[in-house]
């Protein structure tokens, strides 16, 4: 994954607003170059794509999806920087989770680039907080509003799911990280119940399984079935297919975990 991939396509929804400002800090001159390239492309077709309508349309569609995907990945790093430092520390296990995610899906080159972006975001967070306490949280709020305006609910769920996994990477999620996750969920317009379900996925008890589906143990069989169908529909991998195969695979894994929770309940009830 080349450095340019972080700003590929038409830059998607990170080309302006709070995410765009953070991209300018984290990606610097590379981001500025990408914006200029987009402006040329839109104004004078300087990008080198064929002027033929069919080829041009296909190229623009590829640019759009690449821009959306790269915006998703950059948004993940921005929000990860908020979650990781929520307890005032940068845990090796959480950083390694992010590095492993990048390595697994994009290759070794992306690991160093993503790591550098995170370090720059940490520095920017410290700089903003030193200047005005709460400033970075406000930037996160604005970034989440930008994300909510450009990603459907399924995409936001998958983004939040990655953040929960990062928080859980060291084996526990302290209260400060839970509050930070609640911030992000609320700012993105994700229901508290959906966040609670994600936080319980790693548990193996029957009570955890009920919490994953968002129902009480005394719910009726029909209520359990309805809750499962609703949750499975929210997390169906096809809903995030346009964000890339790796994101889709992560959604498949999440759906399997939901299915496992459902099976524990069904077995206990003899359903």
DSSP 50-62: --SHHHHHHHHHH
Q: What is the pLDDT of residues 163-222, one digit of tens each?
A: 998 888 888 788 999 999 999 999 999 988 889 888 877 667 888 888 888 888 888 898
pTM value is 0.71
What pLDDT was estimated at residue 8?
A: 52
Q: What is the pLDDT of residues 150-179, one digit of tens each?
A: 888 888 988 898 899 888 888 878 899 999
**Do the Cβ atoms of 87 and 177 come closer than 8 Å?**
yes
Q: What is the pLDDT of residues 122-136, one digit of tens each?
A: 999 999 999 999 999
Find the length of the chain: 271
- What confidence category does residue 139 fall into, taking pLDDT thresholds of 50, 70 and 90? very high
Sorted by sequence, the CB contacts under 8 Å of residue 189 that are 6+ apart come out as 148, 153, 156
Residue 78 has pLDDT above 50, yes or no: yes
C-alpha pair distances (Å), 165 with each of 2, 60, 161, 171, 200: 26, 34, 6, 10, 11
**For residues 166 and 102, which has the higher predicted lDDT (pLDDT)?**
166
Q: What is the pLDDT of residues 24-70, one digit of tens each?
A: 888 775 455 444 544 444 444 444 544 555 665 666 666 666 777 77
What pLDDT was estimated at residue 242?
A: 67
Residues 190, 262, 214, 209: is their CA dihedral positive or negative? negative
**What are the residue ranges of helices labelled H in 46-91?**
53-84
């Amino acid at each position: 994954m080349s450095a340019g991939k972080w700003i590929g396509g038409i830059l998607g929804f990170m080309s302006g607003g709070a995410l765009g400002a953070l991209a300018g800090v984290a990606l610097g001159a590379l981001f500025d170059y990408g914006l200029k390239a987009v402006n040329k492309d839109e104004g004078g077709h300087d990008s080198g794509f064929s002027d033929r309508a069919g080829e041009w349309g296909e190229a623009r569609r590829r640019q759009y999806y690449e821009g959306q995907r790269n915006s998703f990945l950059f948004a993940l790093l921005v929000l990860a920087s908020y979650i990781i430092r929520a307890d005032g520390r940068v845990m090796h296990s959480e950083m390694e989770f992010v590095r492993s995610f990048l390595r697994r899906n994009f290759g070794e080159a992306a690991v160093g680039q993503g790591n550098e972006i995170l370090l720059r975001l940490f520095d920017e967070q410290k700089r903003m907080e030193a200047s005005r306490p709460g400033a970075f949280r406000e930037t996160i709020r604005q970034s989440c509003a930008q994300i909510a305006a450009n990603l459907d609910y399924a995409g936001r769920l998958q983004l939040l799911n990655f953040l929960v996994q990062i928080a859980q990477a060291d084996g526990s999620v302290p209260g400060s990280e839970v509050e930070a996750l609640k911030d992000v969920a609320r700012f993105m317009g994700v229901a508290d119940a959906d966040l609670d379900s994600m936080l319980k996925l790693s548990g193996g008890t029957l009570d955890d399984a009920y919490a994953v589906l968002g129902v009480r143990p005394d719910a009726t069989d029909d209520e359990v079935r309805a809750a499962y169908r609703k949750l499975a529909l929210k997390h169906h991998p096809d809903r995030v297919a346009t964000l890339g195969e790796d994101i889709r695979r992560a959604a498949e894994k999440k759906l399997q975990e939901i299915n496992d929770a459902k099976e524990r309940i069904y077995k206990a009830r003899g359903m």
